[in-house]
Structure 1
Amino acid sequence: MTRGIQIKVWGDYALFSRPEFKTERASYEVLTPSAARGILEAVHWKRAIRWVIDRIHVRRPIRFETIRRNEVAGKAPYTSARQAARGEKPMPYLVVEDDRQQRAALVLRDVEYVIEAHFDMTDRAGPGDNPAKHLEMARRRIERGQCAWQPSLGTREFTAFFGPVEPGELETVPDALRGERDLGWMLHDIDFADGMTPHFFHAVLRDGVLDVPPFTPRGRAAS
């Protein structure tokens, strides 16, 4: 795969929220493809490319833990924000102390993944953009620990640390992850070109490896 990379990510906590839980947060058992794409975009984001997740390796046993988190109950109205941007009214705001609520969350503990991905060139690529250039930039940033913004493991307060994959690192599988594990329907990605339509796929973990099927947003063909 000429445009492919591998990146190792890890952290103390992770929360990849299942959409069927509305009030309390509950995480999927493993990193979702959309969250993996978000991590790669944090490392190397350019309009000329779009990251595509091919495979996710789970490198540590799946462990859950229940915690309580502070959240803001409301959100600023979109219409008011647009009117404020046009200078028609003051910018809306939220007072955290007046709108705070505490919720339980079922989160993942002590996680580590290896993401295998490639990128497609988009219609926004310019004359100076080419696959070799972006591939080298992405690999160099992974090796140096550089990022455009700090990546996270599903939610912003759970920091994702990242680095290169060492030779032979994927040859072993933790005993707890051997065999086949049906993860059910998992969020694949959001199609922003089609009214933010969510897409799901049937996820199966085999010997700690999640193979991700192709996903192409509406109106954007892969190159």
Structure 2
Amino acid sequence: MQRRAKVQVKVWGEYACFTRPEFKVERISYPVMTPSAARGVLEAIFWKPEFRYEVRQIGILSLGGQQAILRNELTSKQNKNPIVIESARAQRTSLILKNVAYWIVADIILTNRAVDPAAKYRDQFNRRVERGQCHHTPYLGTREFAAYFSSIDEDDVVKPVDMDIGTMLLDFAFIEDGSRKEMEFLRYEETGTRTAVGFAKPLFFEAKVENGWLHVPKETYQQLYALEGQNALRVD
């Protein structure tokens, strides 16, 4: 059974913010979309527990420009007790991107839970893109910056940009650990779905844009799966 299939989609938006984690208070965006943000867009369009997305490359259709804005944010997270907005509000500066567009290329990788070939999910993804359907509105880094999406058109051309970005966030590995009950998350296993407790560990890679394309190394996903202890049934 075919366990890998390629999908691609064009995404764009008026604003975007792919926050660099090394800045603790102010939000400073990476100059291009991160693989984790690209995965979020793909999952907003179509997702099933039978597969995972591995982002292969991100093409720059429009690099856009930078813009500084002032936003109201909350200093604490919502929990069982209500938040009084007036006492938890803080104004923070964000350096965001404006008028961006990207070409996302990714692989659908089946898990042990899948019984259908990867091509079936690829075709479902393509139909949803053509119809403009999504599970929820995709966004570019933060939820207030909505993303639009469509199929790749023959007129779409990647900009010939070269850029050494340095260390970039790949994604988060959700690690099950009973001694670090920092969060709850779902585990989609062959026998069903269960709730696990543990923590999230960020993974990084050395990013470089060459001739308009940001390439994501395959081995970074192998590291992610090793940390999570899950078998994504890779096809190399």
The TM-score bracket by the shorter chain reads 0.7 to 0.9
Given the alignment of the two structures, is residue 190 of structure 1 paired with residue 172 of structure 2, yes or no?
yes
Looking at both structures, which has the greater relative contact order when contacts are Cα pairs under 8 Å and sequence separation is at least 6?
Answer: 1
Q: Which amino acid aligns with 1:66?
A: A
2:12 match: 10
> What displacement does 1:222 show?
3.6
208-217 or 155-164, which deviates more: 208-217
Given the alignment of the two structures, is residue 148 of structure 1 paired with residue 152 of structure 2, yes or no?
no
> What displacement does 1:197 show?
1.2
Q: Is the 8 A contact 2:8 2:103 kept in 1?
A: yes
Given the alignment of the two structures, is residue 101 of structure 1 paired with residue 90 of structure 2, yes or no?
yes
More strand by share: 2
> What displacement does 1:75 show?
1.4
Could you list the per-position Cα deviations for residues 179-215 of structure 1 after superposition, in whole angstroms to 9, with x for gaps in the alignment? Answer: x310010001111136311110110111111011121
The alignment's TM-score, normalised by the length of structure 1, stands at 0.85
Q: Which amino acid aligns with 2:135?
A: A
- List alignment gaps of at least 5 residues for structure 1: 78-90
Q: Distance in 2 between matches of 1:160 and 1:95?
A: 30
Q: Is the 8 A contact 2:39 2:54 kept in 1?
A: yes
Of all paired residues, the percent bearing the same amino acid is 43
Q: Which amino acid aligns with 2:12?
A: W
Q: Which amino acid aligns with 2:98?
A: R
Q: Distance in 2 between matches of 1:61 and 1:117?
A: 20
Q: Which amino acid aligns with 2:89?
A: R
The one of 55, 58, 62 equivalent to 1:56 is 58
Write out aligned runs for 1:1-223 (5 A). 3-77=5-79, 91-125=80-114, 127=115, 129-167=116-154, 169-170=156-157, 173-174=158-159, 177-178=160-161, 180-193=162-175, 195-214=199-218, 215-216=221-222, 217-218=225-226, 219-223=229-233
Aligned length: 203
Structure 2 counterpart SS, 1:192:
strand
Q: Distance in 2 between matches of 1:74 and 1:56?
A: 33
- List alignment gaps of at least 5 residues for structure 2: 177-198
Could you list the per-position Cα deviations for residues 151-200 of structure 1 after superposition, in whole angstroms to 9, with x for gaps in the alignment? Answer: 10000000010010013523xx43xx43x310010001111136311110
> What displacement does 1:101 show?
1.2
Q: Distance in 2 between matches of 1:76 and 1:51?
A: 29
4+ residue runs over 4 A deviation: none
Task: Tell me the C-alpha RMSD between the 2 structures.
Answer: 1.7
Q: Which amino acid aligns with 1:208?
A: G
Q: Which amino acid aligns with 2:152?
A: V
Could you list the per-position Cα deviations for residues 59-101 of structure 1 after superposition, in whole angstroms to 9, with x for gaps in the alignment? Answer: 1134111001111111135xxxxxxxxxxxxx31112233111
The alignment's TM-score, normalised by the length of structure 2, stands at 0.81
Could you list the per-position Cα deviations for residues 116-167 of structure 1 after superposition, in whole angstroms to 9, with x for gaps in the alignment? Answer: 0011111232x4x331221110010011110001110000000010010013
23-32 or 92-101, which deviates more: 92-101
61-70 or 107-116, which deviates more: 61-70
Structure 2 counterpart SS, 1:71:
strand
